[in-house]
Structure 1
């Protein structure tokens, strides 16, 4: 009969194993780039995004820190996140997103280097689990640029602007960790993911209803970020703690 401790250990390793699938997804996304399949690349990155969204809750549920104290799951998560959130999306933007002449290498460098600050920032999260500064979510940026297809100079300014926001205290929503409005946040995130899937699979054909829902969901996220940032500014300027 398997002991309770052995079962807990197996569950903890299972949680780490689930997180580790992200590196396989990163490899598959890279293969898609090599094979000139941008849609497949985004789909693999999308699966990796979902895995990253739920693996933390799974790890906390099985209490991996106390069961396996010698294995740092946060480092595992960061290594995979840099691949799937930063490095592969930077390659995607370099290869598939139009940029002004002579700027692709600059843009890629800005993405890679600014993200290092984000990943090394010990104040990455606020007390209520918002990201402080742009959280290097370049996979989401790559997806948005692919769907919208803005002029090259808009893409350049967008990348530079987001990189600069990395070193600010602007708040960005983590839909699975922020407790306030969590049911709404998760519902809107689900709608956004489903719309993104549809838009990517049917690209470049555009379904206006799906696009409208996708834009509304995106506007909701932007609004939440601006609202939370404004609340902190108000609290700081009126002598309250954020």
Structure 2
């Protein structure tokens, strides 16, 4: 559909959706500034908000058919640029500045995160036909949050980062909680439980009450379990 044939109100709505997506860059910058000031909880709060924006902006874009209303603006590219900031760059900075890794390994590990993620973002086959991610989907914001909350120690943290970087190149499947149609209500419920419990744990860190911690672990285990099941099952 030519852009001149699109009603002005619909084009304005499409610009609003792109603006909402672009707000993720502001949240990413705020997270980076918070990390630089040693405010870990604030950093994760901004990254959490950016995660929510990224989770729902695509739904808005598809429902309003933004691509038809503004064909000259590639929302997918816009989304990827912001995702690299919030999913990769800020977490890479976080692991260095907050001493989550052994001395001498922080910079190489951060570089590993940055470079493997470039492959993920450039890979045209990063999603399967049923909307699972193929290979580790560079969700370093989630990984670094887990390492920070679990307090596994620098050596284990380094091993986790190394292994996940390798999984970027291996066709294991990772659940997209809002795009995979199979078990979608349960996926969404587990995602909401994970987000709420994670926010609770970040807000009261370093305290770790049993209820939010168990809910957080259970929701994470559900994600891992569904991803493993889809990987073992193979092609649909």
Q: TM-score range by the shorter chain?
A: over 0.9
Counterpart position of 2:63: 61
**1:95-174 correspondence to structure 2 within 5 Å:** 95-174=97-176
Kept after mapping to 2: 8 A contact 1:86/1:137: yes
Per the alignment, residue 191 of structure 2 pairs with 189
Map Cα deviations across residues 24-83 of structure 1 (whole Å, 9 max, x no partner): 101111111122111100000000000000000100011011111111011100000000
C-alpha distance after superposition, 1:95-152 (max 9, x if no partner) = 1142122101110010000000000000010000000000000000111011001121
Contact preservation (8 Å) 1:86, 1:138: yes
- Aligned mates of 1:4, 1:225 — CA distance in 2: 41
Q: 2:99·2:106 contact (CA, 8 Å) conserved in 1? A: no
Q: In the TM superposition, what whole-angstrom CA distance separates every residue of 1:172-205 from its partner, at most 9, and x where no partner exists?
A: 0111100110110001100000000011111111
Counting matched residue pairs gives: 232
Equivalent residue, structure 1, for 2:15: 13
Structure 2 portions without partners, runs of 5+: none
Paired residues of 2:10 and 2:69 also in contact (CA < 8 A): yes
Please give the root-mean-square deviation of Cα atoms over the aligned residues, in Å: 1.1
Shift of 1:4: 6.9
Cα offset, 1:219, TM superposition: 0.5
Moved over 4 A (4+): none
Number of the residue aligned with 2:27: 25
Aligned-partner Cα distance in 1 for 2:39–2:15: 33
Return the alpha-carbon distance in structure 1 between the equivalents of residues 193 and 153 of structure 2: 27
Tell whether the 8 Å contact from 2:91 to 2:144 is kept in structure 1 after alignment: yes
Check whether the contact 1:188–1:217 (CA below 8 A) recurs between aligned residues: yes
User: Distance in 2 between the 1:229 and 1:98 partners?
Assistant: 30
5+ residue gaps, structure 1, are 233-240
**Structure 1 contact 86–136 (Cα < 8 Å) conserved:** yes
Measured after TM superposition, the shift of residue 160 of structure 1 is 0.5
1:85–1:137 contact (8 Å) kept in structure 2: yes
Distance (Å, rounded) in 1 between the aligned partners of 2:102 and 2:12:
51
Q: TM-score, normalised by structure 1?
A: 0.94
